[in-house]
Chains A and B, each alone.
Chain A
Amino acid sequence: MSAVATDIARIPAGLGDAVHHGQAVFRCVLEAMARPGRLQRLPADVAGALGHPPGWSPALAATLLTLLDAETALWLSPALRDGVAPAWLRFHTGTRIVDAPGAADFAAARADEVDASIWTVLKPGSDEAPHTGATLLLQVDCLSDAAGLRLQGPGIEHEHRLDAAGLDSAFWQARIAQQADFPCGVDLLLCCDDRVAGLPRSTRVTEG
């Protein structure tokens, strides 16, 4: 009994306001997906009231808290699975945490933990049900829209740029190879501190 009580006491808080902050985070993520490469910042009051495990960026924590519940399956990378995070997510969202990335609807990792193979192990959906493709969330140390990859496609008027630290050319080449499978594919959200950028499968990426 006392062990359980201690565990719950150790779990960090979640969203400061599940209803209104959840809505604000969703709008950030929706904008990020609708305008690939544009950085969206969590509102200051949302980020300020947010609880999350040590080492997690507020953007990654808030996005998972907003989108997950008992209907979703989540895969966490070894670094993110370490410590209190799984208990924290189960407590606040009730999500199922799975061991195989191929079984996940959402997969979260730090950028230094993934390589090109992540694009092929996650669920791509099917031609008849492309919406069942997975969403990959990566926590990166540095995110900029001033240089880097060249992005074109839906949501982009002319061209957007995106530079995410710690993701190598092989990783992006595997992402570019996925474009041939459209409408199947994996959608990417890059999280850095309190900012998030989206890279849906519809975006055509070329290396800058």
Chain B
Amino acid sequence: MNAATAGYNFAYLDERTKRMIRRALLKAVAVPGCQVPFGSREMPLAYGWGTGGIQVTAAVIGAGDVLKVIDQGSDDTTNAVNIRRFFARVTGVRTTERTREATLIQTRHRIPEVPLTEQQVIVYQVPQPEPLYKLEPRRSAATRLHAWREYGVMNVKLYEDIARWGRIDSAYDHPVLVNGRYVMAPSPIPSFDNPKMHRMPALQLFGAGREKRLYAVPPYTDVKSLDFEDHPFKVEPQGHACALCGSTDTWLDEVLQDGGARMWTCSDTDFCRERREEKQP
């Protein structure tokens, strides 16, 4: 603790707030995929910068944790750097960029390429936790639809996509059915990452600060991307290879270079580094 952080509690939040979030998290784990309201606090970052994920991480993190923070797969983007520095200052925990070393991973919009283990917890930053929001913007009505397990409106949306475009038109935030009961927003991860949520050995926690909701997917829980029998969910291949490591089986970002040239590289920078090191012993 330096002078700037003296007087702040470990992990920034006061203990009473942590207890409130912890009780909500336990209920979220007990009812997989169900959104649980919580008293989201004002954080030293604006809403939209991952305040939900930060509050969940703050309630979970301990002095022995090793924290990794990614934004769109990268450890070095503004959001990730700021959140990592925030927790390093207010907790003093060790941080890492290596997925395999981390015990706690906070993420914005990606799941690491390396399969996560039972010893890890992943926290997602969620802008809009309500998967039905664009179809039913009234919170009270959407809550009733979840209570009745009435997801017909979502099926109509997916059907209309197919009728109009010939395929389901969601490249990211593609809704999933958790444990056969709740339709859940996976946060804006690319559909490419959806299959990784299915029966993942790690505990998955989700926090939406502005919307004041959190939810969870316990380990080894069925997570099915919504689809139809005759239009099964599939990941559209990107048709490129990483310019740095040559990977064709990871999620790639298109990078615009000086002069207008385009380059495709792994979105998961740590995984890309690992691949390159394997190739150059």
Give chain A's interface residues, CB within 8 Å of chain B: 18-20, 22-24, 26-27, 29-31, 33-35, 66-69, 71-72, 126-128, 130-131, 133, 135, 153-157, 182-183, 185, 187, 200-202
**Residues B26 and A135 in contact, CB atoms below 8 Å apart:** yes
Q: What B residues does A187 contact at CB under 8 A?
A: 26-27, 30
**Residues B62 and A130 in contact, CB atoms below 8 Å apart:** no
Tally of A-B Cβ pairs under 8 angstroms:
111
Interface residue SS majority, chain A: loop
**Residues B10 and A20 in contact, CB atoms below 8 Å apart:** yes
A-B contact pairs, 17 of them (CB 8 A): A18-B15, A22-B15, A23-B18, A23-B63, A30-B60, A34-B29, A34-B218, A35-B219, A67-B19, A69-B16, A72-B23, A131-B24, A155-B219, A157-B220, A185-B30, A187-B30, A201-B30
Q: Which residue of the partner chain, among B10, B181, B221, contacts A155 with CB atoms under 8 Å?
A: B221
Task: Categorize the interface residue count of chain B.
Answer: 35 or more
Bound CA span A158–B181, Å: 19
Q: What's the minimum C-beta distance from B87 to chain A, rounded to whole angstroms?
A: 14
**Residues A131 and B27 in contact, CB atoms below 8 Å apart:** yes
**Residues B10 and A154 in contact, CB atoms below 8 Å apart:** no
Chain A: CB-nearest residue to B39: A71
Bound CA span A23–B179, Å: 28
Q: What B residues does A22 contact at CB under 8 A?
A: 15, 18-19
Bound CA span A68–B18, Å: 11
Q: Which residue of the partner chain, among A133, A153, A182, contacts B27 with CB atoms under 8 Å?
A: A133
Bound CA span A54–B176, Å: 48
B1-36 at interface with A (beta carbon < 8 Å): 9-10, 15-16, 18-20, 22-32, 34, 36
Q: What's the minimum C-beta distance from A159 to chain B, rounded to whole angstroms?
A: 11
Q: What B residues does A72 contact at CB under 8 A?
A: 23
**Residues B179 and A154 in contact, CB atoms below 8 Å apart:** yes
**Residues B181 and A182 in contact, CB atoms below 8 Å apart:** yes
Q: What A residues does B29 contact at CB under 8 A?
A: 30, 33-34, 155, 200
Q: Verify if B247 is at the interface (C-beta below 8 Å from A).
A: no
